[in-house]
Amino acid sequence: MIVDIINKKRLGKELSYRELDYFFNGYLNGNIKDYQMSSLLMAICINGMTDEEIFALTKIFIDSGDILEFDDIPGIKVDKHSTGGIGDKTTLIIGPIVAACGIPVIKMSGRGLGYTGGTIDKLESIPGFKIKLTENQIRKQVREIGIALTGQTANLAPMDKVIYALRDVTGTVSSIPLIASSIMSKKIASGADKILIDIKVGRGALLSNREDAKKLSELMIKIGEVYHREVRTIISDMNTPLGYKVGNSLEVIEAVEVLRRKSVDSNLVDVCVELATEMVSMGKNISKKEALDLVNSVLDDGSAYKKFVELVNAQGGDLTKVSVSKKVKRIKSTSNGVIKKIDALELGKLSVALGAGRKSKEDKIDYTVGIKLHKHIGDEVKKGEVLATLYINDKSDCSEINNIFDIK
């Protein structure tokens, strides 16, 4: 049976719900081995899946754990997910904006793996910030202040956790059907009424071209229809890092700058405003124009920033204690010219080499290290001018800086 199922997929045939259920639950129970699951995942990666198979797999993932419900909290709950990128601190900014607009925000985030950072690691760089809340604590906090940002409660789509870990080491992460069922199962299980997905495309992302991003978008919208959830997507660039700061404490600091309108001109601000506008439009059932006005107003009048401070205080954090390493190294331009490219992937690799990310799940990260860009794409630079400051520790490896900037 096991080999028959693998062979069926290898030949590009459609697997039934029963076959998928048998195989995936068999893996979760330990009856199917890593090498057998890896083989099926690779066959899926190469031959794809039909819509029916994808709906079946999503259901199998959802049913592997708890399904949360927040129907007792008034208002439309809109959740947002990003497929991951370098310098992506959007959740820290959008959550408070949307909550300040009066829409309840319950956001469960993950840790970073690979070169992309995770919201939970960024939040933990705020001393005292508690990322583990029980379902009841989440409810209480959202009722009181309208927002909770937490780690995933233990039992949401546990199947996704084990399959994702295997995909990560078997070259099967970038399969569109697998990404769609992985993300949508978690979003549906976490009780969102409406879902916004930020699909990143480019060097620093899982997907490298827009066609694949469009396919993923269509699939996630279809899965949403099956579960009667409105799903919207935006496709955003990840060839270039988001904003000026990469690294956990540094990204919290940049999020605060955006919320306080101290940083108004960057690709980060643009993406945050676009995402927040979609969420507010969905959460309040209003036009995008009206939603954009609301988003700008809560940024301009300081209420989005105040909401962030309220959130941090409610979860025990102390923003005044966020710190970056005192030990720095500056990268200077070796020529005159204009910055044509800042390679997101290379910058992500550098941030991990400095100690801001994990090479394996067990690695401990240093919240205080990272990279601050002084220049962005399109800026003119002179030979000897500082392009970036690296915040480092004694173990940081600063050798991987050569392929980051393209200056012509």
Q: Which of 39, 83, 185, 396 binds ligand URA (CB under 6 A)?
A: 83
Report how far residue 247's alpha carbon sits from residue 356's, in angstroms, rounded to the nearest whole number.
5
Q: Active-site residue numbers?
A: 81, 160, 167, 182, 186
268 in helix, strand or coil? helix
Instruction: Report which secondary-structure segment, H or E, holds 136.
Output: helix 135-145
Report how far residue 371's alpha carbon sits from residue 369's, in angstroms, rounded to the nearest whole number.
7
CB atoms within 10 A of CB 162: 15
119 belongs to the binding site for ligand URA (CB under 6 A): no
The residues that bridge with 194 in the sheet, in sequence order, are: 78, 230
Task: In angstroms, give the least distance from the CB of 144 to ligand URA.
Answer: 29
CB atoms within 10 A of CB 60: 21
Report the residue number, 46 or 398, with the smaller CB distance to ligand URA.
46
Report the residue number, 101 or 123, with the smaller CB distance to ligand URA.
123
Pairing of strands 230-237, 105-109: unpaired
Location of structure tokens 């978008």 = 217
DSSP 369: -
Site for ligand URA in 222-281 (CB under 6 A): none
Size, binding site for ligand URA by CB under 6 A: 8
62 belongs to the binding site for ligand URA (CB under 6 A): no
Task: In angstroms, give the least distance from the CB of 83 to ligand URA.
Answer: 5
Closest CB to ligand URA: residue number: 182
Task: In angstroms, give the least distance from the CB of 110 to ligand URA.
Answer: 7
Residues 6+ apart with CB under 8 A from 163: 24, 27, 37, 41, 61, 178, 182
Task: In angstroms, give the least distance from the CB of 172 to ligand URA.
Answer: 9
Nearest to 21 by CA among 64, 69, 84: 64
Task: In angstroms, give the least distance from the CB of 72 to ligand URA.
Answer: 27
Site string for ligand URA, 156-195 (x = CB under 6 A): --------x-------------xx--xx------------
Positions touching ligand URA (CB under 6 A) are: 83-84, 164, 178-179, 182-183, 206
